[in-house]
Amino acid sequence: MEKPAERFTLAHGSGGEFTNQLLETEVFSILGNEYLRKKHDGAVFELSGRLAFTTDSYVVSPLFFPGGNIGDLAVNGTVNDLAMCGAKARYLSLSFILEEGFSKEEFHVILLAIRKAADAAGVLVVTGDTKVVERGKGDKIFINTSGVGQVHHQAFIDAENIRAGDRILISGPLASHGMAIMSVREGLEFESQIQSDTASVHAEVLALLDAFGADIHFLRDPTRGGVATVLNEIARQTNLGMALEEHQIPLHEQVQSACEMLGLDPLYVANEGIFMAWVKGEVSEQVLQKLQAILPSEQQAALIGTVVTEHPGQVVMLTGIGGRRVVAMPSGEQLPRIC
Amino acid sequence: MEKPAERFTLAHGSGGEFTNQLLETEVFSILGNEYLRKKHDGAVFELSGRLAFTTDSYVVSPLFFPGGNIGDLAVNGTVNDLAMCGAKARYLSLSFILEEGFSKEEFHVILLAIRKAADAAGVLVVTGDTKVVERGKGDKIFINTSGVGQVHHQAFIDAENIRAGDRILISGPLASHGMAIMSVREGLEFESQIQSDTASVHAEVLALLDAFGADIHFLRDPTRGGVATVLNEIARQTNLGMALEEHQIPLHEQVQSACEMLGLDPLYVANEGIFMAWVKGEVSEQVLQKLQAILPSEQQAALIGTVVTEHPGQVVMLTGIGGRRVVAMPSGEQLPRIC
């Protein structure tokens, strides 16, 4: 007879014996390190200089998708947010909100993914928290990851540094994460499975900062809302125009087909393993070459546009056939709970 | 005609126009500072030396209770977790998981409480995140606060420093937070309303560290699971015994009555504005006097017990009539979603 699946109960969030058991048998055995094993209210470490600090709560649905799960998504997302500040992630916190009845087996798989992603990014989970809410008051598992990183000594990442003439670089093809999630939700079968691009990008970012320092003016990862949302935010914030060249935008063929099938514009679809850089025009080709030299060949890094003084506050796409269209800020929710 | 109550929709979590509006009109207008206004993926600041880092997700139900709401609870909780590391909180992150349909008016009141508590503790909210989940997949609002603090130069807070002969200090009366929550849940009317003790305790902690430095061996705030759970954890971790004196334990009369009415042991009930310190025996009376001199008179700080070599790993209560009973680690969940 099969053992019944073990599930979380409210007692696992009590702070008492069940919480302790959960920490000892699962969390510490997978993620344990000298900081976590202190089991204190926080972690203490030495760091000096310019630090970056970020937070994100992950509510992605489904929890498991081609290419990853909520666990590595949460770690990579926070490592990447720190990278966008020009920082190398050093220490992460991890906070779970579990729904009563959530499967311990799924939790275990998620923890393994967290460990693997943290190891890959060279970051330690040093402090955490676990809460359990009643059935129907949550959705299996929500994860918050916050992180502290050390800013690269040559990093001066600030939207205020963006100038007309800057080129806009993207490190890889668009929309893979969002379309991987959608393919599961919609039960779609494509010719080959679309994988989420979830991955940490700090190594590439730090290599560019090593080589080009302050000529990297600004960094952002186009997650929720995609490339179009980031560009619109930056156009507004800088009161400059963003001119995109449609034929330069990297896109996997199957992602494009999937977007067409579902009527989605890949510019608005979430990514979890690429970044955008605003780079001084004069060095932009060198930056691209450097990035292409680091990245696996299929990554297709590209210069997709230019910062201009025309159409301030707006994003304009130059289409392949010589046309122009405004790429608007999305108003509503295209794909809820994508991350 | 009354304006219909404004409520959150999934679009507020999209990262697009609605998210922007929410940030501009609510979050930034209440919490805004130079860091948040950068609207970047993280905040960058300078800090050097020993730092403390902590995280907590708050799922308290109800959101509003006598003495506070989930907003100040979240800020104070994270400030206090840092204080328990011997640190002064400097920078907080704030991450919301909102349920579709949650009232914007309630959100506004919560934000005001966050601002007030942050100001009182001298801490800045520098980075954040907002997600929205579908109706029935969350419970109005969950808040994660993570925090970074600077460790006091004289703080050496570590359970390994606890020795037999240390006295156990508590900074105020037990069980107020838990009983304030329970009074709302159970619709109880007491002679006078029981208020949650939610408050930051860093000022008191830092004053003790100023005066007594490394003679403050260890600190913990008895939140979920209360004083009994903390003592059991520390007894196990140190493999020493914790001997409590029942008549020394401070307890408001009305809290005691309420506990009796509901059959709850105040030792297991959550607190949100007091802390416990393990203090070198020789200076313990001076530490108590110092704390009593700082705290408002009604706080009733007290030395409630001693670390002993007898009954290692166990907590034993010496009762008023000369008896002894073991204070066990709670196994299940006495009061779910108390914080």
Ordered by where they begin, the domains of chain B are 10-151 (3.30.1330.10), 159-326 (3.90.650.10)
Give me the residue from A18, A42, A46 closest to B81, CB to CB: A42
Contacts of A152 in chain B (CB under 8 A): none
Residue in B with minimal Cα distance to A129: B56
Distance CA B177, CA B310 (A): 32
State whether B146 and A142 contact (CB < 8 Å).
no
- Residue pair A77/A223 in contact (Cβ under 8 Å)? The answer is yes
Categorize the per-residue pLDDT at A196 as very low, low, confident or very high, splitting at 50, 70 and 90: very high
State whether A14 and B44 contact (CB < 8 Å).
no
Higher pLDDT, A136 or A16: A136
- The proportion of chain B whose per-residue pLDDT surpasses 70, expressed as a percent, equals 97
ipTM associated with this complex: 0.96
pLDDT at res. A4: 58
pLDDT in tens, A30-72: 998 999 999 899 999 999 999 999 999 999 999 999 999 999 9
Residue in B with minimal Cα distance to A20: B233
pLDDT at res. A245: 97
pLDDT in tens, A232-281: 999 999 999 999 999 999 999 999 999 999 999 999 999 999 999 999 99
Helices (H), A94-160: 104-121
Both structure tokens of A66: 């081609």
Contacts of A126 in chain B (CB under 8 A): 53
Contacts of A17 in chain B (CB under 8 A): 329-332
State whether A16 and B331 contact (CB < 8 Å).
yes
State whether A220 and B41 contact (CB < 8 Å).
yes
pLDDT in tens, A88-134: 999 999 999 999 999 999 999 999 999 999 999 999 999 999 999 99
Categorize the per-residue pLDDT at A209 as very low, low, confident or very high, splitting at 50, 70 and 90: very high
Amino acid found at B280: K
pLDDT in tens, A170-189: 999 999 999 999 989 988 77
pLDDT at res. B1: 46
Give me the residue from B58, B95, B331 closest to A17, CB to CB: B331
State whether B14 and A91 contact (CB < 8 Å).
no
pLDDT in tens, B104-122: 999 999 999 999 999 999 9
User: Which residue out of B61, B130, B146, B338 would a mutagenesis test of the A interface target, given it has the greatest number of A Cβ atoms within 10 Å?
Assistant: B146
Average of pLDDT values for B62-77?
97
Contacts of B10 in chain A (CB under 8 A): 333, 336
Categorize the per-residue pLDDT at A1 as very low, low, confident or very high, splitting at 50, 70 and 90: very low
* Mean residue pLDDT across chain A: 94
State whether A127 and B53 contact (CB < 8 Å).
yes
Contacts of B124 in chain A (CB under 8 A): none
Categorize the per-residue pLDDT at B296 as very low, low, confident or very high, splitting at 50, 70 and 90: confident
Helices (H), chain B: 17-22, 28-31, 70-84, 104-121, 176-185, 202-212, 226-238, 253-262, 284-294
Average of pLDDT values for A311-326?
94
pLDDT in tens, B118-168: 999 999 999 999 999 999 999 999 999 999 999 999 999 999 999 999 999
Average of pLDDT values for B278-297?
95
Higher pLDDT, B25 or B320: B25
pLDDT at res. B176: 96
Contacts of A21 by beta carbon, 8 Å cutoff, 6+ apart: none
Average of pLDDT values for B309-338?
90
Question: How distant is the Cα of B58 from the closest Cα of chain A, in angstroms?
Answer: 8
- Residue pair A244/A324 in contact (Cβ under 8 Å)? The answer is no
- Residue pair B9/B100 in contact (Cβ under 8 Å)? The answer is yes
Give me the residue from B48, B53, B94 closest to A91, CB to CB: B53
Give me the residue from A41, A80, A331 closest to B54, CB to CB: A41
Higher pLDDT, B261 or B82: B82
Categorize the per-residue pLDDT at B339 as very low, low, confident or very high, splitting at 50, 70 and 90: very high
How many C-beta atoms lie closer than 10 Å to residue B184's C-beta?
A: 17
Residue in A with minimal Cα distance to B140: A137
Average of pLDDT values for B260-284?
96
State whether A85 and B44 contact (CB < 8 Å).
yes
Question: How distant is the Cα of B157 from the closest Cα of chain A, in angstroms?
Answer: 10
State whether B87 and A54 contact (CB < 8 Å).
no
pLDDT in tens, B194-239: 999 999 999 999 999 999 999 999 999 999 999 999 999 999 999 9
Above 80 in pLDDT, residue A333?
no
